[in-house]
A and B are shown apart, each in its own frame.
Chain A
Amino acid sequence: MSSFLPAVAVLLVALLCLDLHSRVASAPICTHGPSGCHVLSLADLFDRVIQHSARMHSLSNDLHSEFEQYFLPSKNHIGKIYHKCHTSSILTPNGKENAQKLAREELTEVILKLLMAWRDPLFQLHQSMAHQQDFNSFSSNKALEMGDMAHELRKGVEKVAERMRVLGMLGNSVTGLSAAEAMLPISDSGEAMSNYELLYCFRRDSNKVQNYLKILKCRIVPEHDC
Chain B
Amino acid sequence: MRNSGAVLILTFIAKLILQAAGVSPPGKPRLTSCRSPEKETFTCWWEPGGDGGLPTTYALYYHLENSETVYECPDYRTAGENSCFFNKNDTSLWVNYNITVVATNALGKNISDPVEVDVVYIVQPNTPENVTAVVVHDEQGPFVRVSWEKPRTADTRSGWITLLYQLRVKQEKDKEWEVVGHLYNILHMLKWSKVAVVFYIPRERSLWIMITIFSVFIVLILTWTLNVKRNSVKLCLLPPVPGPKIKGFEKQLLKSGKSEEVFNTLVIQGFPPTTDYDELLVEYLEVYDNEEQELVLDGKDLSEDCMKSKSPSDSDSGRGSCDSRTLLLEKCMEGREGSGSGSDQHQYSQHGETSWASTESSESQGPEPGSPESADGCGKTWPVVFSSPQPQTHHHYQVGAAKPAYHSVPEILNHSSPHTTPSNYHQLHHQDIPQQEGRFSKPACRHSQSYNQFNLDGVGTPAPGVPPSPSLEYVEVQRVNPENMLLLRPLSDPNREPEGLDCAGEDYSKVKEVTNNILLLQRDTSHQCVDYYSQDLDNQADQCTTQQPPHPCKPAVHQSNSRMPHEGMRVMGNGYVDSTVLMPSY
Contacts and interface: CB of A to CB of B under 8 A. Distances in A.
A1 B65 CA distance: 64
B170 to A, nearest CB: 29
A18 B210 contact: yes
A211 B119 CA distance: 14
A94 B93 contact: yes
Interface size class, chain A: 35 or more
B155 interface: yes
Interface string B219-237: 0100110010000000000
B159 A226 contact: yes
A82 B188 CA distance: 39
Given A95-B40, A95-B93, A215 B213 contact: no
Nearest to B157: A226
Given A95-B40, A95-B88, A214-B159, A204 B115 contact: no
Contacts of A216: 159
Contact of B187 (A7, A47, A78, A211): A47
B120 A207 contact: yes
B39 A96 contact: yes
Interface stretch (A8-16, A124-132, A144-152): A8-16
Contact of B66 (A11, A77, A84, A96): A84
Given A7-B220, A95-B91, A82 B187 contact: no
Interface in B138-188: 155-160, 162, 186-188
Contacts of A50: 187
A207 B93 CA distance: 10
A18 B159 contact: no
Contacts of B116: 76-78, 80
A82 B65 CA distance: 9
Contacts of B213: 11, 14-15, 18
Interface in A11-29: 11, 14-15, 18-20
A134 interface: no
Contacts of A108: none
Nearest to B160: A96
A164 interface: no
Interface in B47-70: 65-66
Given A77-B116, A94-B92, A208-B94, A100 B217 contact: no
B201 interface: no
B206 interface: yes
Given A77-B116, A97-B88, A207-B120, A214 B40 contact: no
Nearest to B156: A226
B216 interface: yes
Contacts of B115: 76
Nearest to B187: A225
A217 interface: yes
Interface in B185-222: 186-191, 206, 209-210, 213, 216-217, 220
B187 A204 contact: no
A214 B161 CA distance: 8
Given A4-B224, A94-B95, A19 B206 contact: yes
B58 to A, nearest CB: 20
A92 interface: yes
A184 interface: no
A214 B155 CA distance: 12
Interface string A112-128: 00000000000000000
Given A76-B116, A84-B66, A214-B160, A226 B92 contact: no
Interface of chain A: mostly helix, strand, loop or mixed: helix
A95 B92 contact: yes
Interface in B414-453: none
Interface string A48-83: 001000100000000000000000000011101010
Interface in B11-51: 39-40
Interface in B71-110: 88, 91-96
Interface size class, chain B: 35 or more
Interface in A163-187: none
A207 B159 contact: no
Interface string A196-226: 0000000010011001001111110010111
Nearest to B155: A96
B363 interface: no
Contacts of B66: 82, 84
Given A18-B210, A94-B93, A204-B94, A226 B65 contact: no
Contact of A11 (B120, B157, B159, B220): B220
A92 to B, nearest CB: 7
A89 B495 CA distance: 121
Given A7-B220, A77-B116, A94-B95, A215 B160 contact: yes
A214 B162 contact: yes
Contacts of A1: 224, 227
Given A7-B220, A18-B209, A225-B190, A218 B93 contact: no
B215 to A, nearest CB: 11
B323 interface: no
Contacts of A84: 66
Contacts of B190: 224-226
Given A78-B114, A96-B155, A11 B92 contact: no
A76 to B, nearest CB: 6
B191 A224 contact: yes
Contacts of A222: 157
Contacts of A225: 187-191
B113 interface: yes
B301 interface: no
Contacts of B210: 18
Nearest to B93: A94
A197 to B, nearest CB: 13
B70 to A, nearest CB: 17
Given A1-B227, A224-B191, A219 B94 contact: no
A8 B95 contact: no
B118 interface: yes
Contacts of B65: 82
Interface string B106-131: 00000001111010100000000000
A43 to B, nearest CB: 10
Contacts of B186: 54
The 4 closest A-B pairs by CB, nearest first: A218-B159, A214-B159, A225-B187, A77-B116
28 contacts: A1-B227, A4-B224, A7-B216, A11-B216, A54-B186, A76-B116, A77-B116, A78-B114, A78-B116, A80-B116, A82-B96, A94-B93, A94-B94, A94-B95, A95-B40, A95-B93, A96-B88, A96-B160, A97-B88, A208-B94, A215-B160, A217-B159, A218-B158, A219-B158, A219-B159, A222-B157, A224-B187, A225-B190
Given A80-B116, A207-B120, 8 more contacts: A18-B213, A54-B186, A96-B88, A207-B94, A214-B160, A214-B162, A215-B160, A218-B157
